[in-house]
Amino acid sequence: MPRVLMLYTGGTIGMQPSPHGYVPSAGLAERLAAHLALGDPYRLPAFDVVEMQPLIDSAELMPEAWNRLVAVLERHWQHYDAFIILHGTDTMAYSAAALSFMLGALNKPVIFTGSQIPLGEPRSDALNNVVSALQLAAHPATPCEVSLLFHDRLLRGNRARKVRTQGLDAFDSPNFPWLAEIGIGMIFPQPSALLSGEPSFSPLQLDDEAVAGLTLHPGMSLRRAKALLEDATLKGLVISSYGVGNPPNFEGELLNAMQAANERGVALLNITQCAQGEVVQGAYATGAALNPAGVIAGGDITLEAAVAKLTVLLGQGLSGPALRKALSAPMRGEATAR
């Protein structure tokens, strides 16, 4: 039976009530062991729990936490057969995407999970998610990639999104099939097409000023958009545009600002605000104008994966044509190849 390392980073799954609401709480390993002891422990793989210090409320997560996660995985990689990361749901999709890019090819599964209701609370989904993650960690058909398990569905980590604030089925991958579905049995629709291999554990050289997002909307301020594009510290921008990738024209001023930013070396990645579908720069004249301005069409990449990919590539030291090339094609199945 495989040995599994469970890394508890914080988040709802291990929180406990306080006068100010739920807060991260240490000692999850003991509480989890007590709950699992009520069932048949011999049906689950052996596992150890490591708690990050300090624990993180995932809404407070910064990219430096990704370096900490990778460092823990590096220390334990040779001693375990699979890894489960217990993470808060608010930024779980960002972290799963980031680790998929940081680690690269894998020869062991890395599964993110968490819960909408803390362990031990009435109707908590925590135990079901943990047990399912453990069963998947031990299953030979589970893909050796970074994935996200929630509410009986296994999703590719860099395709996942939090789509519901209240439902227990909080995560989905709108533009990609589930990797597995758990019911009476476990169904794996198709084997992972990602290449396996030895992971990279190199830390990122992070610059918190380097990446930003620009959401287009009716009534948006051209002045503010131009100020962001002209910011000397900006190195990468995720543009959330309409439909298949269309921006407002502003009589050419916004396009000129984007082109000037591109010429300064800023990587501009265009994604759609729609939950499903992809960017097609050329379907409409407004979107086609982005191509000569150097804006990269993001296809069907999610916002979470786009931000994470830009952050990771910049943190790995990429710039100029090398950065543009890496952004223009899938690295770890995060977008549909075109």
Please classify residue 30 by burial: count the beta carbons closer than 10 Å to its beta carbon, then call 0-12 exposed, 13-18 middle and 19+ buried.
Answer: exposed
pLDDT confidence band for 282 (50 / 70 / 90): confident
Q: What is the Cβ-side half-sphere exposure of residue 146, based on CA atoms within 13 angstroms?
A: 28
Each residue's pLDDT tens digit, 106-144: 999 999 999 999 998 899 999 999 999 999 999 999 999
Tokens coding 190: 């198709």
> What are the phi and psi torsion angles at 182 (to 5°)?
-105, 120
- For residue 63, give the 3-state DSSP assignment: coil
Catalytic option among 12, 113, 142, 286:
12
Q: What is the Cβ-side half-sphere exposure of residue 218, based on CA atoms within 13 angstroms?
A: 0
Specify the DSSP element, H or E, that contains 83: strand 82-86
The alpha carbon of residue 177 and the mean position of all alpha carbons in its chain are separated, in whole angstroms, by: 16
Could you confirm whether 12 is annotated as catalytic? yes
Rounded Cα distance between 93 and 162, Å, is 7
Angle between helices 222-229 and 253-263 (to 10 degrees): 10
Domains and CATH numbers, the chain: 3-187 (3.40.50.1170), 211-328 (3.40.50.40)
Range with the poorest average pLDDT among 55-59, 68-72, 88-92, 151-155: 55-59
Each residue's pLDDT tens digit, 191-244: 888 989 999 999 999 999 999 999 999 999 999 999 999 999 999 999 999 999
